[in-house]
Chains A and B, each alone.
Chain A
C-alpha cells in the first residue's frame, strides 16, 4: 500500500530522474532567420542576439555557419542545441571528407540528415530546441530547406523561422521572384529584417547576411539597419485606447 504520492503516478511516461535528462524549455535563444534563393545561390540573414528569457543578454552570437563545401546552416531557438548540432555536422562532414572519393554531401543530403536527427530526438521526448534553415548550391542546383524542432521539414524558394514566418514571409511572397540579383536580394532581406527589428521584441539591431554560391560561403561583418521612430503613431501610442491612462 502506498501512502506517499510518488512522481511516478504524475508522470507515467518516463522514470523519476529522467526529467533532468531531457530538454523541457529553452534558455538562451536566437530569434528569426530569413533566407531566400537568388540568381547565384542562397542569401540568409539573422541577427546576432542571444536572449535569456526577456533579457537581450548576448549580442554577438553567430547564428549562421557554413557546413562542408556546399551548405550554410542558420538556426533559431536554443543556442546550446545549435552548438550540439554543429558538432554532429562536423563529424558527418569529417567522415564524408575521409572517403576522399570525389563524392560529397550536398545541401539536400545535409537537410535530410538533420530532419532525421530532429525527428528522432522529438520521438524520444528530448528535442533539440531549434528551427533550422539549410541552404546551399551544388553543381548549379540551388537548395533551400527548413526543419523544425519536431521534425517538420520542407523546401521552398524562401523560408523563415519563428517570427519571420509571420512578418517576413508575407513580404517575400509579394516581392520575391526568380533570378533576383544579389543587390535586390539583400535589399529584400533587409526589408524583412527591418520589420522584424521593429516588431519582434527579441530582435536586436546587429545582423549578418550570409551568401552561398557555387564558389563558397561568405558571411558579412555585423552591421546595423537604419530605423525611424518618429512616426506620429509611435508618439502617444495609447491615445484613444480603451481603458488606458
Chain B
C-alpha cells in the first residue's frame, strides 16, 4: 500500500471524434503526447513538469475510445483542467480532430474499472433502444447479460503497486 506521498489518480476519459479514421490514432504514444502537449500549453513548463511525474497511459481501447490516464494526486487538477484543450490526435503523420470527455476520476484502477463496466452497460442499454432490427437487438442483449466484474478480468496486468483502496477526495 503506497503511502500518502505516492498516491495516484486515475482519470478515465473517452475520445470522441466525428471522423471514424481517428480510431487508428488511439494508441498510447499518440494520446500521451497529445495530453502532454495540452498541459504544456495550458499550464506551462511548471504544469508540464508537475504532471509528468508518474504520468502514463495505463489502458486504452481503440474500439470504444476509452483511455485511462494516471498521474500524481497533487497534480490531477492540472491534468483534468487541460484535457478539454486536446484538439487532435496525431499518429504516423496523420492527424484527426477529436475531443476528450472525462468520465471518471478514481484513486485506483479497480474503481475506474467498476465504473467503466457500469458505464458500458448503460451505453449498451441506450444502443439497445436505438436498434433497428432483431439481429442487432439479440447481439446487444447477449453482450448486456454477459458483462460483470470477475476476478480473472484485469485491465492491464499487475495492480500490486497501485491498489491502495482509497477513493477520490
A binds B: no
Q: Interface on B for A, CB 8 Å cutoff?
A: none
